[in-house]
Amino acid sequence: MTDSIIIIGIIISGLLIFSVLKIKSISKKVHQEIKSKADLLSSQEVRKKILIAEDDVVLIDLMKKNIDQLYEIISARNEFEGLRMVQEHLPDLIIMDIKMPNIDGLNLLGRIRKDINTSDTPVIIISADMNTKYFTTEFKKGTIDYITKPFSAEELYSKIKSVLEKNTLKAKSH
């Protein structure tokens, strides 16, 4: 029994290390694209605001490191802080882990959707849970996209770019 627990612990530790290494390893092509776009931003141009609601500080830092040249990043580590940040900063995009310890991501999403100022804010869910039924439920509540953990920096950047472009086109058509 003890050997089984040790093996499971080693496997889980390996998966966590793999997740961190995978997101750290942004390709040169994507890094160059981000740097080029960041260089194009003038000092007067307002960067899009992204709220990252995630309980894992290491993951928040890695996501920030890979996208903060292009976007203004704000972060929250729990439901209450997340709601406060959404109301104070009115982000252009919310990236949130839906399943966090002691935090109800579904409740946060529901509260964001009920607020007239944030009801249309696009949301990308990040989760280790790859249950498609679960994600279908979230899409009905207004989620735009999702990323399953572990994910690469390229995937994160691609999803952000796509969602923000769609939202810009949607805003222009109204």
Lowest mean pLDDT among 24-33, 43-52, 83-92, 108-117: 24-33
The residue with greater pLDDT, 98 or 136, is 98
* Residues 6+ positions from 119 with CB-CB distance below 8 Å: 112, 113, 142
Residue-wise pLDDT for 86-122, tens only, equals 999 999 999 988 777 666 677 778 888 889 999 889 9
Q: Which of 131, 108, 137 is nearest to 121 (CA)?
A: 108
pLDDT-above-90 percentage for the chain = 20
Q: Which of 149, 34, 63, 50 is nearest to 99 (CA)?
A: 149
Residue-wise pLDDT for 53-77, tens only, equals 988 889 889 888 888 888 999 999 8
As a whole number, mean pLDDT of residues 31-37 equals 57
Would you state the pLDDT for residue 72?
A: 94
Could you tell me the CATH superfamily of domain 2-173? Answer: Response regulator (3.40.50.2300)
Would you state the pLDDT for residue 125?
A: 86
Q: Which of 81, 116, 110 is nearest to 98 (CA)?
A: 110
Would you state the pLDDT for residue 65?
A: 86
Would you state the pLDDT for residue 87?
A: 93
47 has a pLDDT exceeding 70: yes
What's the angle, vertex CA 60, arms to CA 141 and CA 46, rounded to 5?
75
Would you state the pLDDT for residue 119?
A: 87
The residue with greater pLDDT, 165 or 18, is 165
Across the chain, what does the average pLDDT equal?
74
For the chain, the domains span: 2-173
pTM of the model: 0.72
Indicate the pLDDT class of residue 43, thresholds 50, 70 and 90.
very low
User: Rounded to an integer, what distance in angstroms lies between the CA atom of residue 92 and that of residue 123?
Assistant: 9
